[in-house]
Amino acid sequence: MRLSVRHAVTVSVSPAAPGVAVRLKMFPAAFEGQRTLAWRVLLNGEAAAPDFVNGWGDGVATRFLRGGVSALEIVAAGEVETTDCAGVLRGFRAPLRPGVCLRETSRTRPDAAIAALAKEAVAGAATPLDSAHALQDAVTRRIAPTGAAHQSAAAALSAGEGGADEITHVLIAAARSMGWPARFVYGYRLADAPGASDAPDEAGGAAKAGTDEAEAAAEAEAARSAMVAALTQPHGWAELWVEGIGWIGFDAAHDLCPTDAYVRLCSGLDAVDAAPLRVHAEGGAETSATAEVAVVAGEGGGRQAGGQTQQ
């Protein structure tokens, strides 16, 4: 599939800072199943290209702006050709070994409830791949995709709701509790892709059986609004290291493996570590940001017949 992406971010700095450091990881990865046809990143109108590739395999651009900086405008846009590889990440080069992705962070530290969820989910699974799918299914069932923000995976599981980042943190924490390397991935997703609806009710959403019709409708509308808001940001999912196969993507917010409707950008131990954009302003200035993401199937956007399986 050929996907056209435009990701625009406006950062306000108050008061104006004498200097602002910017780190960008907004460059699509290259691997079997994903090829960049055209891509450009602009920072305040100036082109920004990767300065280096980090240990995660991400292209990274760093810039330092001086002289009363009050605003930043970042635009990443272009076209990417994707093929459905059933979520399997083949041909991707990264120096870091999978074992690095066993490290816990404050957002992905498993508690007893997460460990119990993982253990129960994989009981009876015949293969490592079956176990990984069972774990994703269990996380999807336990957490409604409402867009609610939580500071940790444990808090999200306890609340039973969260945004895509929080749901992904729970899956990562559960996987690591089983001794499986897992990492957080940011990228873009075609929202109306078949089998990947953003409607909360279809993804295990907010309206629950047993509530009256008016209450259920109100809950569903609130959940839909939260999910629409989430579409203004890059989408987050997990990659788990599956013995005998390698890295496989799992999007627990939608209970599927990434397809050709996904564009992979960058990764890290959690959402903060993986963030495509980081900004630090000198002098104690505060920063706030607004963002908008648009992903559409471009010309010749038919699905590519990859014929891949998770083997």
Does residue 311 sit within a domain?
A: no
What pLDDT does residue 211 have?
Answer: 37
Tell me the C-alpha to C-alpha distance, in Å, between residue 204 and each of 85, 113, 128, 186, 254: 25, 20, 25, 22, 9
String of DSSP letters for 50-93: -SEE-TTS-EEEEEEEEEEEEEEEEEEEEEEEE---TTB-BS--
- What gap in Å lies between CA 89 and CA 188, rounded to an integer? 16
Q: Is the pLDDT of residue 220 over 60?
A: no
String of DSSP letters for 103-135: ---TTT---HHHHHHHHHHHTT-SSHHHHHHHH
What pLDDT does residue 191 have?
Answer: 83
What range does the domain containing 51 cover? Answer: 2-297
Range of lowest pLDDT (11-15, 80-84, 225-229): 225-229
Q: Which two tokens stand for residue 64?
A: 């330092």
Q: Would you say 160 and 150 are in contact if contact means Cβ atoms under 8 Å apart?
A: no
Other beta carbons less than 10 A from residue 138's beta carbon = 19
Does residue 306 sit within a domain?
A: no
Q: Hey, what amino acid is at 23?
A: R
Does residue 305 sit within a domain?
A: no
Does residue 310 sit within a domain?
A: no
Does residue 309 sit within a domain?
A: no
Confidence label for 203 from pLDDT (cuts 50, 70 and 90)? very low
Does residue 166 sit within a domain?
A: yes
Confidence label for 175 from pLDDT (cuts 50, 70 and 90)? very high
Q: Is the pLDDT of residue 196 over 90?
A: no
The CATH number given to whatever domain includes residue 210 is 3.10.620.30
The total number of structural domains that make up the chain = 1
Range of lowest pLDDT (154-168, 201-215, 290-304): 201-215
Q: Would you say 201 and 220 are in contact if contact means Cβ atoms under 8 Å apart?
A: yes
| pTM (two decimals) | 0.85
Confidence label for 222 from pLDDT (cuts 50, 70 and 90)? very low
Confidence label for 226 from pLDDT (cuts 50, 70 and 90)? very low
Range of lowest pLDDT (19-23, 35-39, 142-146, 215-219): 215-219
Does residue 304 sit within a domain?
A: no
Confidence label for 85 from pLDDT (cuts 50, 70 and 90)? very high
What pLDDT does residue 150 have?
Answer: 86
Q: Hey, what amino acid is at 287?
A: T
Confidence label for 214 from pLDDT (cuts 50, 70 and 90)? low
**Locus of tokens 């599927």:** 256
Q: Is the pLDDT of residue 192 over 70?
A: no
pLDDT exceeding 90 applies to what percent of the chain?
79
- What gap in Å lies between CA 157 and CA 206, rounded to an integer? 15
